[in-house]
Chains A and B, each alone.
Chain A
Amino acid sequence: MEEQTYRPPAWQTRLNTLWERGKWGLLALAIASQCFYAFIDGPAYQHDVGQQNGAVWNLLEGRGVALNVSYDANDISTVALYPVTWWPPMKTFLLAPLMTLTNNDIWWAAMLLEWAFLAVYFVAFFALLQAFSRVIAGWVRFAIFAVWVLLSAPTGGDTNMMSLACFILTIALSQWSLRLDRPTLGWGLAIGGAMAMAMALRYAYYPYIAILPLAFFAYGVLMKRKAWWLVGGIVAGMGLLTVLGVLLYNYAQSGVFLAQVQSET
């Protein structure tokens, strides 16, 4: 009753209108501003991402996701392959086609990839906020994006930002499927695909493979609709396939590496 009689102040009403009229522009501004700052900083180059980027050269030559190293001080020009298996290989796989696009300019290839995922990050957050339009007022959505345009968003940087963007997309797609009340194969594949991409970028997202299937299962129980179990099952299946795929790839990579070391010794 209390909430039905609530009359928002004029500034809120004006910002609500501003959001409705300008939300797409604000989304574009948020993406553009973060891409601008990313451009000034240059592509991320911390330990993890630096090695994921560097491994692209050998991948392009058909030698897998590996770095060039030397083990022999008696001939330091002898190059051995060092497979990059501490992280999933997806970042390097995504970089490879962009290298072709940029004529093997790794700076621009890495920058383009970062920009693409910054776009995914903001589009996913935008979709999530819109999915909650009944409980998050227009003026608040306006304020969140305005703050992100003027200051910064909690992106986390480097490959973490890329997997976080996919994870947010997973949550956004889940919320839209629930809002539209569509526990279908298509939604399951879309949600599972976004989750799989997050996991293929960072091992840290592996444990979350359990979360969404469990939440969909519980929701199906609460709503007495087993169709939600189907969505949870698809997400779990795609997640498990991703884990298996990455582990197998890394296992094969390590095998190639060991074979090379053995042949040298």
Chain B
Amino acid sequence: MTGQINWQHLQRFYPFAGEAIGANNVDYWLPRLGLPLILAHITQWAITLVLFAVQVRLSVLAWQTYRKDPQSPHPEAFFWGSNFLVHGLTIAILSYMSLRYVAEVNGWTQVGDPRYFAPTWVFTVIAVGMMLSRTSQAAVDRVLRGALLVCLVVTLGLGTLNRLGNWRTYAREGIAMGGLSKQENTLRFFMKQAQDEGLVAVVFVARLSDYPTYTFAEAGMVNAVAYRGEWQPDMTLATSKPTRVFLALPSDFEMNTTNLQIQVMKGWIAQYDAQALPDERLQTTVYVFDLLPNS
């Protein structure tokens, strides 16, 4: 947290409403279809604004219905009231945090993360359902329904491209499980192997970007040990039990001449004649060596 207000972070504000109907596909596909990225951003914001307009229209209608007959139950009035409270609170809190806190090294800031807007999606989906179901021929409803249909054609069309791409991959390569799969030659497989041999598995990670988090996750999955101590330029390693050391580095680590953690690990790779683990699905370059007591 700093004393200053980071107004520039608001430029990263995510057009979150569109996410509820798959507008994230726009960002992915339009540049791949040869269209400029700015068009993707404009499209995402246009979709989000249409969805906001739909929600405002439906809220006004719900209020009018209540005013006509205040005695009958009006679950929709509750729904739209909650909707505006959720939207207002979400936008307010995330904006405050983004304005007050420094962005991460990779530019991450709260208002730019779609996940944080997830509670609003449920209201957006229901609003889409309600607007599509309306049979009113009033001009405003016809315009909003038309705009909504255009948005849906775009997002669902691109979503279809995504799924077809998935299935084409399955057809070509078979269904290969990704992520923390049960396949062998994952980092956790090698760590587990070390533990089965009676060694303590310890991982050192160069914390430069997002990738080390996967390494920590893999270590956690097999109850291995992650080093979180201090780093010194001339640090040496010692152990009181037989240990297998895993060094997780970015794939372009040899080009890096400034990062302390990388420089230290480069020294260990040479000193201990560390071997690179063989599979690119480890998501990072991992070197391994055994360290014995008093070695």
> Known contacts being A76-B245, A208-B119, is A70 close to B229, with CB within 8 Å?
yes
A216: which B residues are within 8 A, CB to CB? 78
Q: A76 to B202, Cβ gap below 8 A?
A: yes
User: Contact: A219 with B81, CB < 8 Å?
Assistant: yes
Taken together as a complex, chains A and B put the C-alpha atoms of A73 and B234 apart, in Å, by 11
The stretch of B32-40, B43-51, B214-222 that contacts the partner chain? B214-222
Interface residues of A in 1-45 (CB under 8 A from B): 2-3, 6, 8, 37, 39-45
The answer to whether A205 and B133 have CB atoms under 8 Å apart is no
* Contact residue among B81, B119, B135, B180 (Cβ-Cβ distance under 8 Å from A215): B81
Q: Are B225 and A79 in contact (CB under 8 A)?
A: yes
Interface string of A89-107 (1 = CB under 8 A from B): 0000000000000000011
User: Is A167 in the interface zone, CB < 8 Å from B?
Assistant: yes
Interface stretch, picked from B6-14, B120-128, B254-262, is: B120-128
The A/B interface has a contact count, at CB < 8 Å, of 235
Interface residues in A, total, Cβ within 8 A: 82
Q: Is A69 an interface residue (CB 8 A)?
A: yes
Partner of B227, one of A50, A69, A131, A150: A69
Interface size on B, residues (CB 8 A): 81
A152 proximity list for chain B (CB < 8 A):
22, 159, 162-163
Q: In the assembled complex, how far is the CB of residue B50 from the closest CB belonging to chain A, in whole angstroms?
A: 16
Residues of B within 8 A of A49 (CB): 217
Which residues 218-274 in B have Cβ within 8 Å of A in the complex? 218-230, 232, 235-241, 243, 245
Is A122 in the interface zone, CB < 8 Å from B?
no
Q: Is the CB of B213 within 8 A of A46?
A: yes
Q: Report yes or no: B73 in contact with A151, Cβ–Cβ below 8 A.
A: no
* Of the residues A3, A40, A82, A131, contact of B135 by C-beta under 8 Å: A3
Docked-complex contact A70 and B82, CB < 8 angstroms: no
Q: Given the known inter-chain contacts A140-B129, A175-B79, please indicate yes or no for A43 contacting B179, CB distance below 8 A.
A: yes
**Mostly helix, strand, loop or mixed at chain A's interface?**
helix
Q: Is B66 an interface residue (CB 8 A)?
A: yes
Evaluate whether A39 and B177 lie within 8 angstroms (CB atoms) in the complex, with A71-B229, A175-B79 already known: yes
Contact of A147 among B81, B114, B156, B230 (CB under 8 A): B156
Task: Check if B228 sits within 8 Å of A174, measured CB to CB.
Answer: no
Select A6's contact among B22, B135, B182, beta carbons within 8 Å. Answer: B135
Report the Cα distance A234→B226, complex, angstroms.
Answer: 43
Contact call B122/A128, Cβ cutoff below 8 A: yes
**Residue of B115, B133, B200 touching A77 (CB-CB under 8 A):** B200
Residues of A within 8 A of B245 (CB): 76
Q: A52-82: which have CB < 8 Å to B?
A: 53-55, 57-58, 67-79, 82
Asked whether, in the complex, the Cβ of A207 is within 8 Å of the Cβ of B213, the reply is no
Contact A160/B118 with A76-B202, A77-B200 known, Cβ cut-off 8 Å = yes
Residues of A with C-beta under 8 A to B106: none
B267 to chain A, nearest CB (A): 13
B280-295 interface code vs A (CB 8 A; 1 in, 0 out): 0000000000010000
State the CA gap A216–B255 with chains docked (Å): 59
> Does B178 touch A at the CB level, under 8 Å?
yes
Selected A-B contacts with CB under 8 Å, 8 pairs: A77-B225, A107-B180, A128-B126, A132-B79, A207-B89, A207-B90, A215-B78, A222-B70
Chain A interfacial positions (CB closer than 8 Å to B): 2-3, 6, 8, 37, 39-47, 49-51, 53-55, 57-58, 67-79, 82, 106-107, 110, 125, 128-129, 131-132, 135-137, 140-141, 143-144, 147, 150-152, 154, 156-157, 160, 164, 167-168, 171, 174-175, 178-179, 181, 204-205, 207-208, 210-212, 214-216, 218-219, 222-223
| Closest A-B pairs by Cβ, 3 of them | A54-B220, A50-B217, A42-B179
